[in-house]
Amino acid sequence: MPLPEINTDGLKSFIPTEKIEFLLKNTANPDKKLVRKIIAKSLSKQRLEPEEMAVLINTADPKLVEEIKQGARDLKTNVYGNRIVLFAPLYIGNECVNDCTYCGFRKSNTETLRKTLTMDELGAEIEALEDRGHKRLILVYGEHPMYDAQFIHDTVKKAYSVHKGQGEIRRVNINAAPLDEEGFKLVKSAGIGTYQVFMETYHEPTYKTVHPSGLKSDYLWRLHGLDRAFRAGIDDIGIGALLGLHDWKFEVMGLLYHTIHFEETFGVGPHTISFPRIEPAQGSELTENIPYKVSDEDFTKLVAILRLTVPYTGLILTCRESVKIRNEVIAFGVSQIDAGSDIGVGAYATLDPESAKKSQFVLADGRSLDQVIGELAYAGYLPSFCTACYRVGRTGEHFMEFAIPGFVKRYCTPNAILTLLEYLNDYATPDTREKGLKQIKSELKAMAEGEAKNLLTEKIDAVNNGKRDLYY
């Protein structure tokens, strides 16, 4: 199957560039009463309007910024609890027809070693990830005729088919170029979780500069990419912006307008939002001189603002960020993080000294999955590998956690405990096991006595006796 034919006839941008610029200009120095009112609106579980997001963005008084951050922490605690879902990225191939100036896979980068995993190599990668305890993956692909919908479908099927020891992959998400509707339908039939496409920048003139050629150079094809996914029946989609290409203030407003577009067109918002900052990429001048570099101060603030603005979505934070930053912003309501990630193609199975040369960019957090789980548990979080909603057909789990009273208590916390316990029994080092068990104990202690707790205790016993994949 060749790359999809691009047809953008009749498509229009739903990103109102001038309005965004107007709002950002006209909400400068907001009054503290207004800022507090907006935080309170979010805490009452309502999505904010663009005008309100702009006010939060323009809040500069450090005390008020701290109130925004505290609002995000409160929202997380009240709505989502202390669970953090863990996943790993798996790079399938770095062939690419595009020339994104910030990416190590870009066509004009002659330094990179091009590599696409064979099905056997993919099997070995999956086994290596299962050996470490992973259950949730995101498969990542360059954009190339080799990586057509059939190929993506087949690689997803392969990922689900590999079982090593107690290991299995229970959810496969995708980060790949947007397809046409037929392509999305085929990929959906493989049983994918979320399909992620990052817009990179919502600012069209910047978009055109950083995507000079290839399929990705068409702004409208990309902007409407996930609409095609929706129409093909994929309602679990992830949006994102690559921070540093244009002003972050504009980009987060773009993410909000994209969200509103989905709400208005399909009746549901995105499942997840990602907000990666640009990392160094091989031979990329842009990554050496990032045009709109986002400081740590702005980054932590913008994560809190995103949390408050779209309180019902999952927020994803990756190993591109340092441990210090990850620890700070996880508390603002990040729901998923990757751990033990390696983004070289073929990097998990082999100790291939060349695999770094096949990487797209450089990661800042190099801790193992085991280390991350131990540290999260020690800090009072509940690491989770839960995939229950997706597997019983409860799509849009973040929205349900958010909207249905008692959902987290009834489903998410018990499922997180059971999947963490599996990990602790099958893969953890003694130190992590101790920390994890302590956390499970304190979760149980906090649960009200009664039938639900008794049932969970029975399931815990079953896991300890070797049963796997028990969920609510």
Binding site for ligand SF4 (CB under 6 A): 96, 98, 100, 103, 105-106, 142-143, 216
Residue 423 touches which member of ligand SAM, ligand SF4, none, C-beta under 5-8 Å by kind: none
List the structure tokens of 384. 């989770």
Contact criterion met (CB below 8 Å) for 208 and 217: yes
Question: Which of ligand SF4, ligand SAM, none does residue 55 bind (CB under 5 to 8 Å by kind)?
Answer: none
Closest separation in Å from C-beta 245 to ligand SAM: 9
Site track 190-219 with ligand SAM (rule: CB under 6 A), x = hit? -------xx-x-------------------
CA distance 172 to 155: 10
The tokens for 157 are: 């099927």
Site string for ligand SAM, 376-395 (x = CB under 6 A): --------------------
CA torsion sign for 285, 317, 343, 173 is: negative
Minimum gap (Å) between residue 307 Cβ and ligand SF4? 26
Among 237, 172, 159, 227, CA closest to 395:
237
Q: What is the SS3 assignment for 246?
A: coil
Rg (the chain; Cα; Å): 21
Are 84 and 336 in contact by the 8 Å Cβ rule? The answer is yes
3 state DSSP class of 161: helix
By the rule CB under 6 A, 278 interacts with ligand SAM: yes
Among 3, 140, 347, 408, indicate the residue that binds ligand SAM (CB under 6 A): 140
Nearer to ligand SF4, 126 or 199 (CB): 199
361 binds, among ligand SF4, ligand SAM, none (CB under 5 to 8 A by kind): ligand SAM
Q: Which of ligand SAM, ligand SF4, none binds 176 (CB below 5-8 Å, type-dependent)? A: ligand SAM
φ, ψ (nearest 5 deg) of residue 468: -130, 160
Nearest to ligand SF4 of 83, 277 (CB atom): 277
- Compare residues 71 and 142 and give the one whose CB is closer to ligand SAM: 142
Calpha distance 272→261 (Å, rounded): 15
Task: Pick the stretch among 9-17, 42-50, 75-83, 137-145 that binds ligand SAM (CB under 6 A).
Answer: 137-145
Give the nearest distance from C-beta 20 to ligand SF4 in angstroms: 24
Which of 54/226 has CB closer to ligand SF4? 226
Residues 76-135 that bind ligand SAM (CB under 6 A): 102-103
The region of 5-13, 259-267, 273-281, 395-403 touching ligand SAM under the rule CB under 6 A is: 273-281
Q: Could you say which of 361, 390, 402, 423 contacts ligand SAM (CB under 6 A)?
A: 361
Query: What part of residues 286-305 is at the interface with ligand SAM (CB under 6 A)?
Result: 287
Q: How many CA atoms lie within 13 A of 170 on its CB side?
A: 21
**Rounded CA separation 27/215 (Å):** 37
Closest of 49, 69, 72 to residue 59, by C-alpha: 69
* Least distance in angstroms from the C-beta of 103 to ligand SAM: 4
- 432: partner contacted, choices ligand SAM, ligand SF4, none (Cβ within 5-8 A by kind): none
Q: What residue 106 binds from ligand SAM, ligand SF4, none (CB within 5 to 8 A, per partner kind)?
A: ligand SF4
Residues 206, 241 contacting (CB under 8 angstroms): no
- The DSSP-derived string for 374-433 is HHHHHTT-EEE---HHHHTT---HHHHHHHSTTHIIIIIHHHHHHHHHHHHHHT--HHHH
Please answer whether residues 273 and 306 qualify as being in contact, where contact means their C-beta atoms are separated by less than 8 angstroms.
yes
**How far apart, in Å, are the Cα atoms of 432 and each of 55, 136, 319, 375, 437?**
42, 20, 20, 8, 8
Binding piece for ligand SAM, criterion CB under 6 A, among 43-51, 62-70, 131-139, 169-177: 169-177
- CB 360 to ligand SF4: min, Å: 6
- Tell me the sheet residues that pair with 172: 137
Q: Check if the beta carbon of residue 259 is closer than 8 Å to that of residue 268.
A: no
- What is the closest distance, in whole angstroms, from the C-beta atom of residue 218 to ligand SAM in the complex? 13
Buried-exposed string 44-55: b where 16+ CB fall within 10 A, e elsewhere: eeebbebebbbb
Verify binding: residue 177, ligand SAM, rule CB under 6 A: yes
Residue 330 binds: one of ligand SF4, ligand SAM, none (C-beta under 5 to 8 A by kind)? none
Q: Which is nearer to ligand SF4, 200 or 375 (CB)?
A: 200
Q: Using CB distances below 5 to 8 A depending on partner kind, what does residue 276 bind out of ligand SAM, ligand SF4, none? A: ligand SAM
Residue from 155, 201, 300, 360 that binds ligand SAM (CB under 6 A)?
360
Minimum Å gap between C-beta 107 and ligand SAM is: 11
Q: Which of 146, 161, 160, 166 is CA-nearest to residue 192?
A: 160
Total residues interacting with ligand SAM, rule: CB under 6 A: 21
Task: Considering the complex, state which of residue 286 and residue 323 has its C-beta at the smaller distance from ligand SF4.
Answer: 286
- Percent of the chain that is helix, strand, coil (3-state, to 5): 50, 10, 40
CA distance 38 to 42: 6
Point out which residues bind ligand SAM (CB under 6 A). Answer: 102-103, 140-143, 175-177, 197-198, 200, 242, 276, 278-279, 281, 287, 320, 360-361
